[in-house]
Structure 1
Amino acid sequence: MKTILWATLTANGNYAQSSPDNPPKQEALDDFFAEAKAAGNFIVGRRTFEGMRGSGGPGPFADIDIVVVSNSAPEIPDVKVVRSPEEALIYLKEKGHQTALISGGADIHNSFLGQGLVDEVIFNVAPVLEGKGLNLLIDQENYRYQPVQLLDCRPLGSGIVQLRYAICFQQ
């Protein structure tokens, strides 16, 4: 199964934090909806999922398998709750998905990256500098480099540039 990590970064490389003062740009949201629809699923952390839920209705995700990775979330109607990245991927593979979209929460992103479970990354670089932010990490203990290969680079609008990379696995 191909795994794609989708994230928005600030222009200075932080993991972009949405807030009422810094809401996500519509172009990035539209791109996420298109990626989720193409994959037929997305994997998200509990806190990010709760933030996305809004009024609680399915919205644009009515026909999409949503997997929440959490050690503490109770059962959620119409959503699969799992305890680990591996369990999320097993579930989606058993449902017949060819691609898994990892979509939200720095902890979830870092967990998948740290375990070498990501094949591609999509970074939407937002036109903002952030003074304090979270980082995407592949290794929290050592200084390790992971080569990537640029697959695509394109503007989304509103100053957002999308970078798509394949992760080059080292032998």
Structure 2
Amino acid sequence: MSKVVLYIATSLDGFVAGENDDISWLFQFNDVDYGYDAFFSRIGAIVEGRRAYDLEIKHGWEHAHPVSTFVLSHSQPERKPLRSDIVFTDDDIADVLRRAKQVSDKDVWIEGGANVAQQFIKRRMVDEIVLSIAPVLLGRGISLFGDAGEQLNLSLGEVRRFDKGLVQLCYDFQSR
């Protein structure tokens, strides 16, 4: 059975981006093999927010994830996406997740950003969190978890250590 996986990177102090959606602090880790290819081989669909999509366009990453992608947005993009499997939707996230699961029997990646991750976590619609932590302190920016609203217990699965001090923590939700 497919899983819903939040796979995301943060700074050591818990930010997914600096001020003004700055992710340049992550670029120093571009040459680190942190298991992305193995992870992505499990993915059949992606759900992401509009700001994450816009960052991908800004950096020329439109074709980086060649699977069906559902972009949560209240508006359509200024230009038509280059891929026909990119869908902009303002449907409820439960409906979007159902549609994403219908595309493939593989896992669904909740790609980002923080607001999207928080929505799925608050509604307990995530099975697994794979958190890559960069040894960088940003001091301010966009917090990954923000206000979870309540205590949520996780079970630590794997801990992986990579070059340049990057670590990856893999958690499962204890109860749903």
Which TM-score band (shorter chain)? 0.7 to 0.9
CA contact (8 A) 1:149 1:167 kept: yes
**Whole-angstrom CA distance in 2 between matches of 1:48 and 1:28:** 21
* Correspondence 1:59-70 to 2 at 5 A: 60-62=64-66, 64-70=67-73
Measure, in 2, the Cα distance between the counterparts of 1:88 and 1:164.
24
Q: Structure 1 residues 11, 43: closer, same or farther in 2, change over 3 A?
A: same
Gaps of 5+ in 1: none
SS at 2:39's partner residue? helix
- Output the CA distance in 2 between the equivalents of 1:113 and 1:7: 13
- Secondary structure at the aligned position of 2:159 is classed as strand
Structure 2 partner of 1:8: 9
Q: Give the Å deviation of 1:44.
A: 1.0
Distance 1:166 1:138 in 2: 19
Residue of structure 1 equivalent to 2:107:
99
Shift of the 42–27 alpha-carbon distance from structure 1 to 2, 3 Å rule, reads: farther
CA distance in 1 between partners of 2:12 and 2:163 (Å): 15
2:148 maps to 1:147: no
| 2:11/2:138 contact within 8 Å kept | yes
* Gap change, CA 1:30 and 1:7, over 3 Å in 2: same
| Alignment: residue pair count | 166
TM-score by length of 2: 0.80
Relative to the length of structure 1, the TM-score reads: 0.82
Matched, 1:165 2:166: no
* Structure 2 match to 1:81: 88
Deviations along 1:137-166, whole A, 9 cap, x unmatched? 3755x4x21111111000132211000000
Taking the aligned partners of 2:62 and 2:24, their CA distance within structure 1 comes to 25
